[in-house]
Structure 1
């Protein structure tokens, strides 16, 4: 008997890990090859000077983390499968055909109905991803903010991640286990459940936010990256988060995807230090 092909739900589970290591491999490769030096945002020799966790320790941590996280998502996906989009239900291509026919009398076979239905369908899917991102960003900001405001949380939990004063890509999710569960994991799941993302949408959402997180810990700001382009609108790009990892920026720039909460709480970095400043070890 041939093995059963993985279902869409089963593909959700490994999608964050695949996205994480693929994005990390890309940035590590261009760093090792010395490519795009003009887009490097900080001196290369700063990377090993200040970090309190070694690359080897971070690598081991992340292998274990993704093994556990993928196993958990596999079990959770079987116990609580994501909703399935019903044929002809709201937001489907057939639904948009129906709406356009009722509003304008267009037949589904017409080129105008075809193009407009696909455009509306694409906008609908993008809007759902955006709303999920807003929820995740809000969750992460307030968790992150209080991790810095409450000394016990910072000292015992969040300080693990900030051992990487000069972060690198595969250390993007190097966290205390409690932060991995309650901040990153629960934030993504809450956003997914509230918006009722389907399996395919979860794969897209988990993969995209994972790649964004990896890029935010990379030493490059590549102008053609879609996340860099997105950050030109939001303000929360690679430099924005790298500043937070510096000893002089730790109490600022808490957001990951947008900046409105930081601006509302007056926690945006307004100093004059830059990532290009060469510094001695943190004491």
Structure 2
């Protein structure tokens, strides 16, 4: 952002107004807080503008209306509340952690940034797998916290972050902080990492199997994989999020599926192992 002020310079004949540009930079920390939120609504908004896309849906519109027990208005309100809570926590952390030196960290080389991305992805996946699974195992936590997210049996894009604020703090805010600190990335790199993580999370909850989706090409943890977890029979499986399926495979909670075409149009993700 820039502000223009004018210096008055006197000459023998007249006075001139000369524009001087005064920069008001926005810190990378603030951008890392607000850009992913903007990305969330822009990316999920694209899915809304695309319409129902019945030929690519993992559930029919009738199933969405019947199985989900909260209105979309309530979901939007819930996501905004969580994001406001997330902003408050982030700003509080920045207040205590920011130094007075004003030194801007230099960006490392591209190979180092790629390595930091990979480390951050592994850290986030590990944290979210075990916290997510624990919220299912612990009956109190599931009933009073995590069940809110599972009121969307048929997930859709802008419901990706429809969680209890405490769940958002534990899974997303703390998980993100650990990813940032352990990977050693700069705040500028973090803007891109958290924006990418946001896109991935929205895509995993979009309820669609779109052709040519590059996230489905590069990640086995995708909308169909996570849809299995959201079904009433699937809450013991596919806890991994948002990137890889490694921990599910290592710890025996992986539920493979087949993607079948429905007669009514669209697709259905069907488990190919016996449900316990």
TM-score by length of structure 2 reads 0.79
In the alignment, is the contact (CA less than 8 A) between 1:12 and 1:73 conserved in 2?
Answer: no
1:264 corresponds to 2:242? no
Give 3-state SS (helix, strand or coil) of 2:67's partner.
Answer: coil
Distance of aligned partners of 1:57 and 1:146 in 2 relative to their CA distance in 1, 3 Å threshold = same
Structure 1 range deviating more: 175-184 or 59-68? 59-68
Match of 2:18 in 1: none
Match of 1:189 in 2: 177
Considering fraction of residues, name the structure with more helix.
1
In the alignment, is the contact (CA less than 8 A) between 1:9 and 1:81 conserved in 2?
Answer: no
Deviations 1:182-207 (A, max 9, x none): 11110111110111221111101111
Structure 1 CA distance for aligned equivalents of residues 47 and 257 of structure 2: 28
Deviations 1:95-140 (A, max 9, x none): xxxxxxxxxxxxxxxxxxxxxxxxxx33321221111010000000
* Counterpart selection for 1:178 from 162, 166, 174: 166
Structure 2 CA distance for aligned equivalents of residues 179 and 230 of structure 1: 27
1:10 corresponds to 2:30? yes
Tell me by how many angstroms 1:168 deviates: 1.1
Structure 2 CA distance for aligned equivalents of residues 229 and 261 of structure 1: 20
* Counterpart selection for 1:245 from 213, 216, 230: 230
Deviations 1:37-66 (A, max 9, x none): 543333232211101211111111112222
Match of 1:102 in 2: none
Give 3-state SS (helix, strand or coil) of 2:212's partner.
Answer: coil
1:169 corresponds to 2:154? no
1:212 corresponds to 2:200? yes
TM-score by length of structure 1 reads 0.77
**Greater C-alpha radius of gyration:** 2
Unaligned 5+ segments in structure 2 are 6-21, 261-266, 271-276
Aligned residue pairs total 240
Structure 1 CA distance for aligned equivalents of residues 214 and 155 of structure 2: 21
In the alignment, is the contact (CA less than 8 A) between 1:253 and 1:269 conserved in 2?
Answer: yes
* Counterpart selection for 1:56 from 64, 73, 93: 73
Tell me by how many angstroms 1:18 deviates: 0.7
Match of 1:95 in 2: none
Please show how residues 1-283 of structure 1 align to structure 2 within 5 Å.
Answer: 4-32=24-52, 34=53, 37-81=54-98, 84-86=104-106, 92=108, 121-231=109-219, 235-256=220-241, 257-270=243-256, 276=268
Tell me by how many angstroms 1:86 deviates: 4.2
Tell me by how many angstroms 1:229 deviates: 2.1
Distance of aligned partners of 1:73 and 1:38 in 2 relative to their CA distance in 1, 3 Å threshold = same
Tell me by how many angstroms 1:212 deviates: 0.6
Structure 2 CA distance for aligned equivalents of residues 18 and 193 of structure 1: 23
Give 3-state SS (helix, strand or coil) of 2:244's partner.
Answer: coil
Deviations 1:71-90 (A, max 9, x none): 33234234324995348xxx
Structure 2 CA distance for aligned equivalents of residues 273 and 249 of structure 1: 15
Distance of aligned partners of 1:227 and 1:77 in 2 relative to their CA distance in 1, 3 Å threshold = farther
Kindly report the root-mean-square deviation, in angstroms, between the aligned alpha carbons of the 2 structures: 2.5
Distance of aligned partners of 1:194 and 1:208 in 2 relative to their CA distance in 1, 3 Å threshold = same
Considering fraction of residues, name the structure with more strand.
2
Give 3-state SS (helix, strand or coil) of 1:276's partner.
Answer: strand
